Structure 1
Amino acid sequence: MTPAFELAEVNIARLKFPLDSPQLKDFVDALDPVNADADSADGFVWRLQSEGGDATDIPVLGDEWLIINMSVWRDTNSLTAYMYQGRHREMLARRREWFEKVQEAMLAMWWVPAGHRPTVAEAEARLLHLRTNGPTPYAFTLRTSFPPGASQPVLGEVPEGLGCSV
């Protein structure tokens, strides 16, 4: 049976150094293996990538120091199983070496109809909504999540009062 909904997630990070700097060499060198782990993980559906195989050159929120990671998963359990094991867990442990600590939300999740692949603009809208309103069925976190299909807006619809400017 095909699920009606899949879990989309976006996380962004503000770089401390340019991607081609010696300080980010370990991070950049780990991108391909970590992405390969995701691609083969149970519950993985899709991830945003450019021709280079990752998403580090895809602009987000008009800020050249931000990088984006966006993916779709079967459910929250499959996403968390991947996030907190293996190479990805090792990379999470070192994130403060490579990325600025930011007070605002840098990760958002939402349910999409099965087969839908979110755009960067959609992800930006969800993240900005989470920053403004806190967790809601429109955009939420692992700590405060909502069941699939809860209050799904029509695709492409932006909630009232939410602009896409930074």
Structure 2
Amino acid sequence: MDYRLVHFNCARPMGKFDFSNEFVQVFVALLPRIFKDGDAFEGLIHHDHGLRCPDGSWRGFTNAFPYPQEWRAPDISTLAVWRSLEDLKAFSHNGRTHPPGMRRLAQEIDRSDGPGFVMWWAPKGARFTLEDGWQRLQHLRQHGSTDYAFSLDQPVKCPVAA
């Protein structure tokens, strides 16, 4: 069996989630370029994006606004399937848009809930939703790195093909 690396990450901006927030302005401006770069990157097989709202519902970026003023900011989320951990690292650290954009926004992220990034190995062709990724992240936050959900700091080797 052939395996792929799946990753889920989320970032919750500090402050209000509206266009007066510089994080929101920059993020919305960068998003189309990051998606275009992802689509062109050979090692990225699939990616999906959305907003996890405080009530547990999911929204796409096209229906993000108006956002309820009484809610804290959503978790801006990505689920992606990669050929390998090396491909994920290459895109994240060497890409044209993602690295500089995320470095610019890094200080504007609320990290109070713990890690915002989780990975796991899945058989080639397996499908996952953003909610599946959210649940894996909760597992990592509660149990630390395991074969089920692991971090970049404690990666799990790809299972050997049977």
Is TM more than 0.5 here? yes
Normalized against structure 1, the TM-score is what? 0.76
Quote the Cα distance in structure 2 between the aligned partners of 1:61 and 1:11: 18
Is contact 1:60-1:120 (8 Å) kept?
no
Equivalent position of 2:13 in the other structure: 15
Which secondary structure state, in structure 1, belongs to the residue aligned with residue 127 of structure 2?
coil
Write the letter of the residue equivalent to 2:87: S
Is contact 2:47-2:79 (8 Å) kept?
yes
Quote the Cα distance in structure 2 between the aligned partners of 1:79 and 1:61: 30
1:99 Cα deviation (Å)? 2.1
Equivalent position of 2:4 in the other structure: 6
Is contact 2:51-2:75 (8 Å) kept?
no
Quote the Cα distance in structure 2 between the aligned partners of 1:39 and 1:116: 19
Which secondary structure state, in structure 1, belongs to the residue aligned with residue 147 of structure 2?
coil
Which secondary structure state, in structure 2, belongs to the residue aligned with residue 94 of structure 1?
helix
Quote the Cα distance in structure 1 between the aligned partners of 2:18 and 2:47: 20
1:125–1:19 CA distance, 2 compared to 1 (3 A): same
Quote the Cα distance in structure 1 between the aligned partners of 2:27 and 2:73: 17
Normalized against structure 2, the TM-score is what? 0.77
1:134 Cα deviation (Å)? 0.6
1:148 Cα deviation (Å)? 2.0
Unaligned runs of 5+ in 2: 57-71
1:61–1:142 CA distance, 2 compared to 1 (3 A): farther
1:147 matched to 2:147: no
1:45 Cα deviation (Å)? 0.2
Write the letter of the residue equivalent to 1:9: H
Unaligned runs of 5+ in 1: 49-54, 151-166
Higher strand share: 2
Aligned positions, number: 142
1:149 Cα deviation (Å)? 2.9
Quote the Cα distance in structure 1 between the aligned partners of 2:35 and 2:54: 19
1:115–1:59 CA distance, 2 compared to 1 (3 A): farther
CA RMSD of aligned residues (A): 2.2
Quote the Cα distance in structure 1 between the aligned partners of 2:53 and 2:12: 12
1:141 Cα deviation (Å)? 1.3
Quote the Cα distance in structure 2 between the aligned partners of 1:93 and 1:4: 33
Q: 4+ runs of 1 displaced by more than 4 Å?
A: 57-61
Is contact 2:52-2:76 (8 Å) kept?
yes
1:117 matched to 2:127: yes
- Overall identity of the aligned pairs, in %: 27
Equivalent position of 1:37 in the other structure: 37
Match of 2:143 among 130, 133, 139: 133
